[in-house]
Amino acid sequence: MDKRLGFVGIIVEDRQKNASKINSILSEFGGVILSRTGIPYKERACSVITLIVDATTDEIGALSGKLGNITGVTVKSALSRSKII
C-alpha cells in the first residue's frame, strides 16, 4: 500500500489526564510522524496538537482510531489524494 502525505489534528481536553496515553500512542506511530506541534490553549482549558504524517491509509486509520478512543480527545485527519513523489 502506498504512503501518502497528510495531517492529523488533535484536540485534547483534560491534558493532565490524557497526556501520557496520547504520548504513548504517538511514540508507537513515531515512524510515520514527520512533525508534531502542540499548543496549550489555557483560555479554553484544552490543547491542540498537529501532526504531519507520511503513512498508509491503514496506519492513519489506526493512529486516529486509537487517539479517538481516548475520552476527551477529538481527532480529524486528511491525506493527499495520491502518492506524492
- Give the residue extent of every domain in the chain: 4-79
Confidence band of 15 (pLDDT split at 50, 70, 90): confident
Which residue pairs from 78-81 have beta carbons closer than 8 angstroms and sit at least 24 positions apart in sequence? 78/6, 78/7, 79/4, 79/5, 79/6, 79/55, 80/4, 80/5, 80/6
pLDDT in tens, 44-74: 989 999 999 999 999 999 999 999 999 999 9
How many CB atoms are located within 10 Å of the residue 47 CB?
19
pTM for this predicted structure: 0.89
Fold of 4-79: Alpha-Beta Plaits (3.30.70)
Assess whether pLDDT exceeds 70 at residue 84. Answer: no
Report pLDDT for 83: 67
